[in-house]
Amino acid sequence: ESATAFGCLMSDLWLGEFDYVSPEAFHSVFGKRYLTFSTRTQQDAQEFLMCVLEELHQAFREVRAQLRHLGEASAEASRGSGSGTSIITQLFEGQLSYSITCLKCKTITDRPESFTVLSLPIPSGRVCALEDCLDCFFQPDTLTQNNQIHCCWCGTNQDATVKATITRAPQIIIFHLKRFAWQDRHRRKLSTTVCYPFSNLDLSPYSSRFFYKNAAYSLCALVNHTGDIDYGHYTAFCKHSTTKHWYSFDDTQVTKISDSAVQTDTAYLLFY
């Protein structure tokens, strides 16, 4: 299975016996499950990440269910706690609440929604900050015409405003910078430089004051994409949890890099 192949890949990485390891075995098994990723053509890293997390989540859920069935689960699991959860959801899953206000009767409805990746729009311009992207994502939006909501109090479709708020922040939050956008019926890649903080990322302006724990996030990894929509190259920068040094992963080349080199104009996925 994909989860087993992924586990073998992680073991090879952390054993440190090789200068680099190839994910060929994992790619082969994973490609049989998700045919989109079975070829050698370029695919989207964000879509791949979502599929990997979902595959691991389901695998860990199955193992937990089997242990519970055999009576070997932990005391916590035996109490029925979090049957739909896994280590993946515990680490990566957060929750948004969409506050929808009917513009006629002013009734407010809250709709919760879980997330593992936040896809952030990039403001137009040559340079912006990650906080600008967050501001765009969390700014209120007005729903009119074909996007009207059905108001239960009014009994009809009405214009409304909707605003998202983080009600549960995950331990590891992943941001997807939406670099591929539609313009004049054609997709293009946005080359905007997004400046992101290495530490003390404050999510309190976008969080409910009743749920936010006043935690500051630090950057631990990122994925870069160079090239255009149809042809490009992915690399990764990762911070060693012990030494705090940054390393670049570029195919078979793994090199130590300076902190200043971590800020790039090709960042596509950010892990905090």
What's the pLDDT tens digit per position in 158-175?
999 999 999 999 999 999
In a domain, 185, yes or no: no
For residue 103, being part of any structural domain is answered with no
52 in a domain, yes or no? yes
204 inside domain: no
Question: In 3-state terms, what secondary structure has residue 166?
Answer: strand
Per-residue pLDDT band at 63 (split at 50, 70, 90): confident
Its domain, for residue 40, covers 1-69+85-92
If we measure between CA atoms, which residue out of 94, 266, 84, 58 comes closest to residue 174?
94
Residue 12 forms part of a structural domain: yes
Give 252-261's long-range contacts (Cβ < 8 A, gap of 24+): 252/19, 252/20, 253/20, 254/19, 254/20, 259/198, 261/237
Is the separation of the CB atoms in 262 and 237 below 8 Å? yes
pLDDT in the model for residue 251: 94
Q: Which secondary structure element, helix H or strand E, spans residue 75, and what is its range?
A: helix 75-78
Domain count, the chain: 1
Spatial contact of 262 and 246, defined as CB atoms under 8 Å apart: yes
Q: Taking 90 as the threshold, does the pLDDT of residue 80 lie above it?
A: no
Residue 81 has pLDDT above 50, yes or no: no
Q: How do residues 22-51 score in pLDDT, each as one tens digit?
A: 999 999 999 999 999 988 788 999 999 999
Q: Tell me, what's the pLDDT at 89?
A: 95
Output the pLDDT for position 70: 64
Q: What percent of the chain has pLDDT over 70?
A: 90
Question: What percent of the chain lies above the pLDDT cut of 90?
Answer: 73
The per-residue pLDDT for 167 is 94
Question: How far lies 191's CA from each of 3, 128, 176, 178, 194, in Å?
Answer: 35, 11, 14, 11, 9
Q: Is the dihedral of CA 166, 172, 175, 176 positive or negative?
A: negative
| 40 occurs within a structural domain | yes
Place of tokens 């009734």: 107
C-alpha span between 117 and 173 (Å, rounded)? 7
pLDDT at 71: 62
pLDDT for the residue 69:
62
pLDDT of residue 41: 81
In a domain, 17, yes or no: yes
In this predicted model, what pLDDT tens digit does every residue of 92-132 receive, in sequence order? 999 999 999 999 999 999 999 999 999 999 998 899 999 99
The DSSP 8-state label assigned to residue 43 in this structure reads -
Burial class of residue 7, CB neighbours in 10 A (0-12, 13-18, 19+) = middle
